[in-house]
Structure 1
Amino acid sequence: MSRIPVRLGAVIVAACLLFTSWSAVTPRQASALDPIAGYLMAHFTGESSTGQQIYLAQSTDGLRWTDLNNGGLVLRSTVGTRGVRDPALVRSPAGDRYWVIATDLCIGCGQSWSDAQNNGSRHLVVWESTDLVNWSAPWLLNVAGAIPDGRNAWAPEAIWNPDTGDYVLYWATNASLNGVMKHRIYSARTANFRSITTPQLYINRAGTQGIIDTQIVEMPPGVGSYRYVRSSGDGQITLEGSNSILGTWTNLGNLSGIGLNGSQVEGPMWMRFNARNEWALYLDQYASGRGYLPVLTTSPSSPTSFRLPASGSYNMGGTRKRHGSILNLTTAEQSRVLGRWGNNAQVNRIQSYNYQDRYVRHANFDVRIDADVSPPQDAQFRLIPGLTGGAGAVSFQSVNFPDHYLRHYGFDFRLEANDGTTTFAADATYRRVAGLADSSWASFQSFNQPDRYIRHSGYVLRLDPITDVQGRNDATFRVTT
């Protein structure tokens, strides 16, 4: 988010525990399951309705980033304001479940900064996954509705708390307290990001000074004097230390010594480098519009240890990365993520055999074949490994709605968001076979209705048994690039 009213900066950043941090306190550590190999960043890109969605980038060294999904969005919000900012990636301590939590806000989609600050959504948007690539439908989590005079909910973060065996979820809300209206950080406990305990005031700066962006990272034993370090955007980039997430925090200083303050940078985003005790604190240079800058340190609790990066030592990729979150990836996680969204995933069109000027496309989430499709992305798909069905199975992932897939329902076709169920996966999976009308083309047999194939009828896609020449022609397609 960007400076208030231009500031919703909310770094949601990696609040979810830099994997090598909070996971270390559980018996079954995610890090023990598989070697760590790379980094995944979730972020948004700008103020448009498309920019205010979830994007991903990957890095092998933590400093040079590659945009995934060919720079396209990965998750789109279909709830609340239908826009999201400041995503936080959360991994369970066991490494078997993941969440994305984000601010429910879409500036320029019928909502102004004044609206968002004084009468915005009191909800967060949440997605859930068991593998980092197949995500549930999003849901709304009301976090600020119980805060007296709470006006919004911005910049969520979450961290596993070993003292209570659940997550501390924290965010900024603009509210009046003791006659002062400003943004403060509130917190609540949750086990599943579907319900929370009663929100409590978590961080409150003196006087009229507000605070929106804050993020916590856990330190390994032997590094610094504190188990946790907190970085916040509150007029400075302030560092604090504590030995308990919900305990007392000590002010350690700020980054003004290296020439960085809250009028220049915001959205602090922690990242621990794999296999060594060194950290990058990414800061968004919002004042100059230059995006993220990694500030490096071997001792996050010591403000004097931070240093600016050498010229040319980092590259943020092709898209502007706005406040987000970084997760350290295991080898298996990275393989899954790159397999789904790596830039080698080809963009295809599906051409009709008997109407060769027409291509499969979605229109208002219905599916048909049309000529001269506009925008062209409505007729573009990625044929990815099937959501179920094993080797040889495929699913059709939309390019401009990448969390949506071609799915049959009542033998009609829809473009729908993956809800994570086995029923959806089966309905959205097909077996590619030789074309029924021409073996040099292709036909697509349903995974869970194997006597039926994708075909068009009256230009509308259907799932039908194929019994005659007309049906074979209608059920034959060419996959083109």
Structure 2
Amino acid sequence: MRAVRTRLATTLVAVCLLLTAHIMSPPGRAAAATAAVPGYLMTHFIGEGSEGQQIYFSHSTDGLHWNDLNGGGMALRSTVGTRGVRDPSLVRSPDGSRYWIIATDLCIGCGQSWDDAQNNGSRNLVVWESTDLATWSAPRLLNVAGAIPDGRNAWAPEAIWDPQSSSYVLYWATNATLNGVLKHRVYYARTTDFRTVTAPQLYIDRPGTQGIIDTQIVEVPAGTGDYRYVRASGDGQITLEGSNSVLGKWTTLGNLSGIGLTGAQVEGPMWMKFGDRDEWALYLDQYAAGRGYLPTLTSDPSDPGAFRLPAAGSYDLGGVKKRHGSILTLTAAEESRVQARWAATPAQRLRSANYPDRYVRHQNFGVRIDANVSPAQDAQFRLRPGLAGSGTVSFESVNYPGYYLRHTGQEVRLALNDGTAAFAQSATYRRVAGLADTAQSSFQSYDAPDRYLRHYAFQLRLDPIADATGRGDATFRVTG
């Protein structure tokens, strides 16, 4: 009996300790996760120019080896502001029902210089919204720096959910004059929907003339280090700071100069928690060498001395350069949707059967057949599984991802998928043997099955086909 009583007492003590630990954990802080996760999604840009400064996605199963999604092509294109984006941040709502991408409205080499961007740049951020990580809204502009006195730009946005205010703290860098000193400082505002924001407030200001641009915050689980939040910032160094509140007092912890990384070499800090162990990666963009991201590893984000460089050959960033972005740890449901939507699908063209020097192309969102298409990507499409039904196809633009060939009555245009059933049906076609040549293809409308895609006076439209001319106009060769 004594042994039984001893075992019972030991069990009761253990239960009490577990309950106490649970009760004493700060709100919102879960124990460190050790279960494996399905994968990780990185959003990033890849370089300069109008194509490189857009939204790209990459995926990893282990957080260190990355595969380019969408065949290495862009996932989203900005059609607002400067029509280019950098520094994207991917934000998930606390309940997982909504996602946002927020990015710098900036396109260097697209008619804008670095001096322009710093001193008379966009005061807006670019925002996309989604409910599933697959279908995204049209981009919109969010003015965050217009109310900052002498605010000259808005760069490198990030956002984190703040349980104390039940809102997101949205923070970014703005070049502005304060107390007679012009430099980049980090400002913040609160938002719940990334449509409206509170008045901007100063968040981080370094002494003297030292500016700060890139900052990203990670929430650290209970039992690791002394702080609930750790932020890494590019301010001449890669400086680490800790706090127990997003908008509370922050304590300087040190920097990464001990492993040979300073702000003169790297920027764009990007945190990631490994799902299967108590370890973090802090990715840093090697901008000075033009080499994209490098992971550093640590078991404690708040301890600068715990960071280490990875072993040679232990990581692989994939085919395209990955620059300043963010990483989302995926759930099983998110993993499934991401893989289905962004699977690699080759770019193809539709060549007219009866005008074989002409290809289907979009131009100002109208659709026609042309020879010598420029830019060439205007005539490139990914033949996706049909949006409305199995055994069908939908034509997604390569250089305007998310935009599909859809009809409104007889007119065919390139339009953004709004996620509705009506859009899906009007952008879906059955691929059948060519009406004029069975070795080629014709495309029958899903929701108007008596009609086919055809060109007429070189414009693409949807028509019934009743004669040899129509059959020729409605026949295309799918080419690489």
Q: Does TM-score exceed 0.5, indicating one fold?
A: yes
Displacement of 1:460: 1.4
How do 1:108-119 and structure 2 match up within 5 A?
Answer: 108-119=109-120
Identity %: 72
How do 1:392-411 and structure 2 match up within 5 A?
Answer: 392-411=391-410
Displacement of 1:421: 4.7
Partner of 2:443: 444
How do 1:291-440 and structure 2 match up within 5 A?
Answer: 291-343=292-344, 345-387=345-387, 389-440=388-439
Partner of 1:475: 474
CA gap 1:360/1:330 in 2 versus in 1, 3 angstroms: same
Partner of 2:74: 73
Q: For 2:376 and 2:457, how far apart are their aligned partners in 1?
A: 21
Larger mean Cα displacement after TM superposition, 246-255 or 295-304: 246-255
Partner of 2:208: 207
How do 1:220-235 and structure 2 match up within 5 A?
Answer: 220-235=221-236
AA paired with 2:66? W
How do 1:1-12 and structure 2 match up within 5 A?
Answer: none
Larger mean Cα displacement after TM superposition, 300-309 or 418-427: 418-427
Displacement of 1:119: 1.1
Contact 2:74 2:399 in 1 (8 A): yes
Residues 315-353 of structure 1, C-alpha deviations (whole Å, 9 max, x = no match): 11222211111111223322322323223x122222333
Displacement of 1:237: 0.8
How do 1:115-126 and structure 2 match up within 5 A?
Answer: 115-126=116-127
Displacement of 1:476: 2.8
DSSP 3-state at the match of 2:328: strand
CA gap 1:423/1:48 in 2 versus in 1, 3 angstroms: same
Q: For 1:36 and 1:426, how far apart are their aligned partners in 2?
A: 35
AA paired with 1:348? Q
Larger mean Cα displacement after TM superposition, 210-219 or 438-447: 438-447
AA paired with 1:477? F
Partner of 1:19: none
Partner of 1:105: 106
Q: For 2:163 and 2:391, how far apart are their aligned partners in 1?
A: 43
DSSP 3-state at the match of 2:71: helix
Partner of 1:62: 63
Partner of 2:165: 164
Q: For 1:54 and 1:366, how far apart are their aligned partners in 2?
A: 24
Partner of 1:4: none
Q: For 1:385 and 1:253, how far apart are their aligned partners in 2?
A: 51
Q: For 1:287 and 1:412, how far apart are their aligned partners in 2?
A: 49
AA paired with 2:180? G
AA paired with 1:62? G
AA paired with 1:464? D
Larger mean Cα displacement after TM superposition, 108-117 or 419-428: 419-428
Contact 1:129 1:420 in 2 (8 A): no
Displacement of 1:377: 2.6
Contact 2:29 2:222 in 1 (8 A): no
Displacement of 1:26: 10
Q: For 2:436 and 2:29, how far apart are their aligned partners in 1?
A: 57
Contact 1:26 1:93 in 2 (8 A): no
Displacement of 1:228: 0.9
Residues 194-246 of structure 1, C-alpha deviations (whole Å, 9 max, x = no match): 11111111111111111100000111221111111111111111111111111
Displacement of 1:35: 7.3
Partner of 1:88: 89
Displacement of 1:158: 0.7
Contact 1:26 1:162 in 2 (8 A): no
CA gap 1:480/1:438 in 2 versus in 1, 3 angstroms: same
DSSP 3-state at the match of 2:258: helix
Residues 61-118 of structure 1, C-alpha deviations (whole Å, 9 max, x = no match): 1111122222221111110011110001111122221111100011111111111111
Task: Work out whether 1:462 is the aligned partner of 2:461.
Answer: yes
AA paired with 1:480? T
Task: Work out whether 1:284 is the aligned partner of 2:285.
Answer: yes
CA gap 1:332/1:235 in 2 versus in 1, 3 angstroms: same
Q: For 2:91 and 2:298, how far apart are their aligned partners in 1?
A: 23
Contact 1:59 1:65 in 2 (8 A): yes
Contact 2:36 2:275 in 1 (8 A): no
CA gap 1:177/1:375 in 2 versus in 1, 3 angstroms: closer
How do 1:197-276 and structure 2 match up within 5 A?
Answer: 197-276=198-277
AA paired with 1:323? H
Partner of 2:149: 148
Q: For 2:383 and 2:390, how far apart are their aligned partners in 1?
A: 13
Displacement of 1:440: 4.8
Task: Work out whether 1:188 is the aligned partner of 2:189.
Answer: yes
CA gap 1:178/1:421 in 2 versus in 1, 3 angstroms: farther
Contact 2:349 2:380 in 1 (8 A): yes
Give the greater-gyration-radius structure (CA).
2
Q: For 1:166 and 1:448, how far apart are their aligned partners in 2?
A: 43
Select the structure with the greater relative contact order (CA < 8 A; seq sep ≥ 6).
1
Residues 357-409 of structure 1, C-alpha deviations (whole Å, 9 max, x = no match): 4332223432122344344332221111233x132232101122223221223
Contact 1:137 1:420 in 2 (8 A): no
Displacement of 1:149: 1.4
Q: For 2:363 and 2:136, how far apart are their aligned partners in 1?
A: 23
DSSP 3-state at the match of 1:339: helix
Contact 1:87 1:325 in 2 (8 A): yes
Task: Work out whether 1:46 is the aligned partner of 2:52.
Answer: no
CA gap 1:480/1:326 in 2 versus in 1, 3 angstroms: same
Displacement of 1:148: 1.4
AA paired with 1:378? D
Partner of 2:175: 174
Q: Identify unmatched segments of 5+ residues in structure 1.
A: 1-23
Q: For 1:220 and 1:422, how far apart are their aligned partners in 2?
A: 42
Displacement of 1:434: 4.1
Q: For 2:392 and 2:96, how far apart are their aligned partners in 1?
A: 27
Size of the aligned set, in residue pairs, is 451
Displacement of 1:464: 1.6
Q: For 2:431 and 2:95, how far apart are their aligned partners in 1?
A: 36
AA paired with 2:185? R
Residues 293-319 of structure 1, C-alpha deviations (whole Å, 9 max, x = no match): 100001101111101110111111222
Contact 1:87 1:100 in 2 (8 A): yes
DSSP 3-state at the match of 2:347: coil
CA gap 1:393/1:38 in 2 versus in 1, 3 angstroms: same
Displacement of 1:247: 1.2
Partner of 1:16: none
Q: For 1:48 and 1:190, how far apart are their aligned partners in 2?
A: 31
Q: For 1:372 and 1:349, how far apart are their aligned partners in 2?
A: 13
Displacement of 1:52: 0.9
AA paired with 1:351? R
AA paired with 1:261? T
Aligned alpha-carbon RMSD (Å): 2.2
CA gap 1:129/1:393 in 2 versus in 1, 3 angstroms: farther
Q: For 1:217 and 1:305, how far apart are their aligned partners in 2?
A: 16
Q: For 1:260 and 1:240, how far apart are their aligned partners in 2?
A: 16
Contact 2:269 2:282 in 1 (8 A): yes
Larger mean Cα displacement after TM superposition, 272-281 or 401-410: 401-410
Larger mean Cα displacement after TM superposition, 214-223 or 390-399: 390-399
DSSP 3-state at the match of 2:252: strand
